Copies of this chain bind each other. A is one copy, B any other.
Amino acid sequence: MAAWSERRLIKKIRQASLRASNGLLKAIGDDCCEVTAPGSFLISTDTLVDSVHFDVSFHPPYLLGRKSIAVNLSDIAAMGGRPRFVLLSLCLPENLEWDWISRWLDGALEILQEYDCVLIGGDTVKGKELVLTVTVLGEPVGSGAVYRDGAKEGDTVWVSGDLGTAGGGLALLNHNKNEHDSLDLGGWNALLSGHLNPVPRIHLGMELARSGLLTAMQDISDGLATDLAHLCQASGVSAIIYGENLPFLPELSTAAEVLNLKLEDLILRSGEDYQLVFTVRKGKEDEFVGLMQKSKKEIFKIGEIRSGAGVFYDNGDSIEDISFQGYEH
């Protein structure tokens, strides 16, 4: 297998950049690129390191390319924004196969195109290990970006979809990597895909922002227990959530049993689902539900905002403070 070459990689990146023109005034090939700017930009950057943030032994490069972009797009979704431009900084080991990085880039370019987002530049360097840095710029829609810090007592707490999916998928993949009794992964596609190919909730995020009824939002990257705690801490409030309201896939219970894991841990404390957790303004719940039904969006009310501090979990029998009990990258 041929190793990657910087010239070939830059050529491929440059060709992709030249095909795109939406808002790109000056493409790759000058000291800077130049983009048209709206009133404000939302900006986020994430660095992923091999064997810390991902595992090349079971993550196909094409899907990892998609995911490397998806986790950044999710930060834009968490503000209710529209992603516009992306920069890549790739630190690649000298012996990395061309095929691997080429497929990685194919995946990255594919998901960028799906969200009408443009690769505008970046840098490639040689290093000892694989380090992928993605920076994304987006623009707020509707009446502006939704921050973390606006939740108030009496608001309701919602999530955009199933929790624990990615955590279940990762646990299955790790089991088969580390244990002798390999499982047949044939029936677990939804869980595996949750980890390998997560979907950033861009369109939903924009719709939520446009409703004008949200008070706070963020994405769930470190698990609900941690991410809702961030939202509550930023807003100076507490939250109570009800176990019976938390959405999860039926196969997650089976996976938990097979793997001898607590279902509750996967749902509350495993990361990387990239669903959105958000709060709806007190007294606006009916209006909000009406809007969501009209656009056929499935979302889940999981609890309420209260005064004080902490995230409290009501499992039907008892109430426990689960703040910051999530996944740490």
Contact = CB atoms under 8 A, between A and B. Distances in A.
A39 interface: yes
Contact of A40 (B31, B36, B127, B129): B36
A126 interface: yes
A292 interface: no
Given A45-B123, A89-B45, A218 B30 contact: yes
Contacts of A329: 125
Contacts of A33: 42-44
Interface stretch (A130-138, A166-174, A305-313): A130-138
A214 B150 CA distance: 48
Q: What secondary structure prevails in chain A residues at the interface with B?
A: strand
A137 B219 CA distance: 25
Contact of A131 (B85, B91, B145): B91
Interface string A5-37: 000000000000000000001100111111111
Given A40-B34, A78-B31, A120-B43, A26 B127 contact: no
A229 interface: no
A123 B47 CA distance: 6
Interface residues on A, range: 35 or more
A132 B147 CA distance: 28
A49 B120 contact: no
Contacts of A85: 43
- What are the 4 A-B residue pairs with the smallest beta carbon separation, nearest first? A37-B37, A31-B78, A32-B42, A32-B44
Interface of A: 25-26, 29-49, 52-53, 74-76, 78-79, 81, 85, 87, 89-91, 120-129, 131, 133, 135, 137-138, 140, 145, 147-149, 218-219, 234, 329
